[in-house]
Structure 1
Amino acid sequence: MNPSLAHYYVRNKLTSKLISKRVLSPISSFLQPPADLIKALRIENEVPKLSEVFSRFHSLDDERSGLPRYMPFYRFIQSKFPGFKWQVRASQGKPTLILDKPFINQSRPSLLNLLLCAVNDNTATTPALKVRYPAMQCLPDALVLDLERAFDSLSFAPSAAHFVARFAETLAKGLAGETITLVSPVCPDYGYESKNGRLRYTFEHLGDGIGLVAGRVAKTLPQLQAVLRKHGIDARLAVAAGDFEGFDASTLNRLKETREGFAHKLQISQGKLLEALGGEAESIMIAGAAGGEAAWHALTADAQQRLERHDNGCIVDNDLDYPSIFNARLPLYQAWHQQRSNEELMQILYAQGAEYAAIGKVFAAQWDNPIVIGADHNRMQPFYWLYSTIPVLYLTRVY
Structure 2
Amino acid sequence: MYINSEASKYILNKIIKQKKINFKKYNLNKYKKEIQKLKKDYKFISKKNFFNSKYKYYFFWEIIRAKYSLKELTLKKRNQKRKSDKVNIEFSIFGKILGYNPSLLSMLIFEKEFKLLIKTQKFFEEIQEGCELENIKTKIKLNVIQSISKGELEIITPLCPDYEHVSLGMGLYKYTFNKLNDGLGLIGKRLSKIIVNFHNILSRHKIKFKHYLYYGDFESYSDAIQKRLNISEDEFIKRLEKSSIKMKKKNK
Q: TM-score range by the shorter chain?
A: 0.5 to 0.7
Distance 2:173 2:244 in 1: 22
The 2-side partners of 1:181 and 1:247 are apart by: 28
Q: 1:254 to 1:195 in 2, by over 3 A?
A: same
Match of 2:163 in 1: 190
Equivalent residue for 1:179? 152
Displacement, 1:243? 5.0
* 1:138-287 equivalences in 2 (<5 Å): 138=116, 141=119, 144-173=121-150, 178-197=151-170, 198-278=172-252
Equivalent pairs counted in the alignment come to 156
Aligned partners of 2:220 and 2:226 also within 8 Å: yes
Q: One-letter code of the match for 2:185?
A: G
Distance in 2, Cα, partners of 1:202 & 1:231: 40
Given that residues 138 and 172 in structure 1 are in contact (C-alpha distance below 8 angstroms), is that contact kept between their aligned partners in structure 2? no
TM-score w.r.t. length of structure 2? 0.52
Q: Which amino acid aligns with 1:171?
A: I
| Structure-to-structure mapping, 1:27-46, within 5 angstroms | none
| Identity rate, percent | 21
1:109 shift after superposition: 7.3
Other structure's SS at 2:178 match:
strand
Q: Deviation at 1:140? A: 8.1
- Asked if the contact 2:144–2:153 (Cα under 8 Å) also holds between the matched residues in 1, the reply is no
> Any stretches of 5+ residues in structure 2 without a counterpart?
1-68, 76-92, 101-110
- Once residues 170 and 106 of structure 1 are traced to their aligned partners in structure 2, the CA distance between those partners, rounded to angstroms, is 32
CA apart distance, 1:158: 3.0
Closer/same/farther in 2, CA of residues 247 and 232 from structure 1, 3 Å limit = same
The within-5 A match list for 1:283-302 is none
Unaligned runs of 5+ in 1: 1-103, 111-125, 279-399
Amino acid at match of 2:213: V
Q: Which has the larger radius of gyration?
A: 1
Shift of 1:239: 0.6
1:169 and 1:147 mapped to 2: Cα distance?
14
- Counterpart of 1:233, as a letter, is I
**What's 2:33 paired with?**
none
- What TM-score does the superposition give when structure 1 sets the normalisation length? 0.34
In structure 2, the partner of 1:137 is 115
AA matched with 1:217: L
Structure 2 counterpart of 1:189, which letter? D
Alignment check: 8 A CA contact 2:159 2:216 kept: yes
